[in-house]
Amino acid sequence: MTATPARPEDLSARIAAALRDAIVQGRLIVDQRLPSEAELSEQFGVSRPTVREALKRLAAQSLIRTQRGASGGAFVNRLSFQEAQAQQITTSTLLLSMNAISFETACEARFALERACAPLSAQRRQAPHLEAMQTEIARQSDPALSDEAFCASDVAFHRALVDGAGNPVLSYQLAGAVEAMQPLMNMITFTARSRERIVALHRDIADAVASKDGPGAGDGLLALEAETLRLGRDVFAERERNKR
Amino acid sequence: MTATPARPEDLSARIAAALRDAIVQGRLIVDQRLPSEAELSEQFGVSRPTVREALKRLAAQSLIRTQRGASGGAFVNRLSFQEAQAQQITTSTLLLSMNAISFETACEARFALERACAPLSAQRRQAPHLEAMQTEIARQSDPALSDEAFCASDVAFHRALVDGAGNPVLSYQLAGAVEAMQPLMNMITFTARSRERIVALHRDIADAVASKDGPGAGDGLLALEAETLRLGRDVFAERERNKR
DNA sequence: TGCCATTCAAATGCCAGACAATTAAATGTA
DNA sequence: TACATTTAATTGTCTGGCATTTGAATGGCA
């Protein structure tokens, strides 16, 4: 039995996997130049188009970047938080939209994770975070705001809250959870009354964070989760009925 | 000013982006067949190899799958939790290894998120989760276990804990946070004494979860975080000194 | 000597055409 | 009807080539 007996993957997939392993295991380090396409095709015994397909696979994961011209080539890319977040958001959003995830499940996950950030954020938040939260609260109070814009502002509020924890790893992880909820939230039509309730809760949370009251922020998030759940239940229960 | 004036991306990247948008926005739905490579190359006015590079980019993100033969082609893939997790783990691991993330920051993020799961897990865990945790505790108690195997077992323990919450979205999100720590943990050489302490804490946590004691599980995780931090600090402070 | 324009070479980006391999469906046959 | 065969469509791969970009070497000029 050899390494991978069961599944004869594409050549380009196997080459991509080999290069990916080399990067993950540190045999290829950040900013190091990979051999040229011609050299790789010779090393792996395949044609240049096949090598190119493999390189595009890696580029799609932001593992490499390519540069044209003399002394150009493919270089191991330092994965930035921004790139990683973008990928995570895409993946999380699709995961939720393609699988039968109930609104309750998604909501629970999101708020559970967010509550984990609350005490840290209450402790460490800086002026910009507090300002960002206030800005979004002000925006949300405008009744002329469309539902979509209201949701977008909601996301911005929560991202400011999470960023307040001052932990980039947490911000990165939460980005997926918070953003992936947006398409679901966009299905909700908010009444003026429900918006008021949400904005009031946002105020409570922002105040708690501003006064470094971690438990208070947690309680605010709990109340917001209950409110969100109530709003979502009606919409999605209705949808379920219509499906059948 | 047009849409994207500044950045002239590759053709294959642009085509991949167009198809990705179509999938994300739901214009292409799960299991729907994309046009054949020949048709796509005609539609976009490019050659087949270019289309193929675009499709490989999407395949690398598990957005499509391809099938050979008559009535084969590229199909919109239903992103499974397994695939999404695998990607998340790769991304998170690289993110941590390529950027100057302190052990403290990574540790804090991981345990904060894990504590968010603890109360849910204590409430809903089923027999298999409790068994899995006990199995790993037993394995970890074997002094003959290598450090790497000890770390792997540690990860398995925590995944069982997280899975106990019965929320697949949480499991998916946490997978990245927990697994990405493993390379960092692997740098630690565990003494017999430190292993004992960790296993004891694992026992506390498992017992709390078994008796549906959410707060107790949270406290156990807090203690474990402190212990892990203590262990890691020595190793990574030493490494920092050597760097200079 | 020092600076600038030109040329050159290496590398990726893109294309055309062809053949191989695979697979479902159509077709033919007992 | 059931089974074997043929066919056609599609992806996988290769060969060869040209276009474009870009850093570096070259050479002329002040």
Q: A40-45 — which CB contacts under 8 Å span 24+ positions?
A: A40/A15, A44/A11, A44/A15, A44/A18
Q: What are phi and psi of B66, to 5 degrees?
A: -120, 155
Question: Who among B84, B115, B173 is closest to A109 (CB)?
Answer: B173
B10 touches strand C (CB under 7 A): yes
Q: Which amino acid is at B244?
A: R
Enter the DSSP assignment of B28. S
CB contact (8 A) between residue B90 and residue A20: yes
**A120 interface with B at CB cutoff 8 Å:** yes
Tokens 């009925």, residue located = A241
**Chain B: residue nearest A106 by CA?**
B169
CB contact (8 A) between residue B52 and residue A49: yes
Residue B77 reports pLDDT greater than 50 = yes
**B149 interface with A at CB cutoff 8 Å:** no
The predicted model scores a pTM of 0.88
Q: Do B34 and B28 form a contact (C-beta atoms < 8 A)? A: yes
**B172 interface with A at CB cutoff 8 Å:** yes
Residue B7 reports pLDDT greater than 80 = no
Question: How do beta strands A73-76 and A64-67 pair?
Answer: antiparallel
Question: How do beta strands B64-67 and B73-76 pair?
Answer: antiparallel
What's the confidence (pLDDT) of residue B150? 93
**B97 interface with A at CB cutoff 8 Å:** yes
Distance, CA of A50 to C1' of C20, in Å? 15
Q: Which amino acid is at B15?
A: I
Distance, CA of B46 to C1' of D21, in Å? 20
Question: Who among A12, A91, A110 is closest to B84 (CB)?
Answer: A91
Q: Which nucleotides of C are covered by protein (CB under 7 A)?
A: 8-18, 21-25
What is the spatial distance between Cα A166 and Cα A36, in angstroms, rounded to a whole number? 40
CB contact (8 A) between residue B79 and residue A93: no
Enter the DSSP assignment of B244. -
B25-65 per-position pLDDT tens digit: 999 999 999 999 999 999 999 999 999 999 999 999 999 99
SS3 per-residue string spanning B98-154: HCCCCHHHHHHHHHHHHHHHHHHHHHHCCHHHHHHHHHHHHHHCCCCCCHHHHHHHH
Q: Which nucleotides of D are covered by protein (CB under 7 A)?
A: 7-17, 20-24
CB contact (8 A) between residue A173 and residue B109: yes
What is the spatial distance between Cα A124 and Cα A50, in angstroms, rounded to a whole number? 50
**A177 interface with B at CB cutoff 8 Å:** yes
Residue B6 reports pLDDT greater than 50 = no
Helix (H, G, I), strand (E, B) or coil at B188: coil
Q: A8-14 — which CB contacts under 8 Å span 24+ positions?
A: A10/A53, A11/A44, A11/A46, A11/A50, A11/A54, A12/A50, A12/A51, A12/A53, A12/A54, A12/A57, A12/B56, A13/A54, A13/A57, A13/B59
The domains of chain B, with CATH numbers, are 8-76 (1.10.10.10), 81-243 (1.20.120.530)
CA distance B53 to chain A (A): 5
Q: Which of residues 30-49 of A touch strand C (CB under 7 A)?
A: 34, 36-38, 48-49
Tokens 């783990």, residue located = B89
Q: Do B5 and B40 form a contact (C-beta atoms < 8 A)? A: no
**B51 interface with A at CB cutoff 8 Å:** no
SS3 per-residue string spanning chain A: CCCCCCCCCCHHHHHHHHHHHHHHCCCCCCCCECCCHHHHHHHHCCCHHHHHHHHHHHHHCCCEEEECCCCCEEEECCCCHHHHHHHHHHHHHHHHHHCCCCHHHHHHHHHHHHHHHHHHHHHHCCHHHHHHHHHHHHHHCCCCCCHHHHHHHHHHHHHHHHHCCCCHHHHHHHHHHHHHCHHHHCCCCCCHHHHHHHHHHHHHHHHHHHCCCHHHHHHHHHHHHHHHHHHHHHHHHHHHHHHC
List Cα–Cα distances, B34 to A34, A212, B63, in angstroms: 33, 53, 12
CA distance A175 to chain B (A): 11
> What are the structure tokens assigned to B30, written together?
């799960």
Question: Who among B56, B98, B109 is closest to A56 (CB)?
Answer: B56
**A82 interface with B at CB cutoff 8 Å:** no
- The one-digit pLDDT tens for each residue of chain A (244 residues) are 233 344 578 999 999 999 999 999 999 999 999 999 999 999 999 999 999 999 999 999 999 999 999 889 999 999 999 999 999 999 999 999 999 888 899 999 999 999 999 999 999 999 999 999 999 999 999 999 999 999 999 999 999 999 999 999 999 999 999 999 998 888 888 888 889 999 999 999 999 999 999 999 999 999 999 999 998 888 877 777 776 6
> What are the structure tokens assigned to A149, written together?
């814009």
What is the spatial distance between Cα B93 and Cα B8, in angstroms, rounded to a whole number? 30
User: Could you give the angle at which helices B147-163 and B168-180 cross, rounded to 10 degrees?
Assistant: 160
Mean pLDDT of the B179-204 span: 91
Question: Who among B56, B94, B172 is closest to A79 (CB)?
Answer: B94
What's the confidence (pLDDT) of residue A244? 62
B195 touches strand D (CB under 7 A): no
- A&B contacts, CB < 8 Å: 157
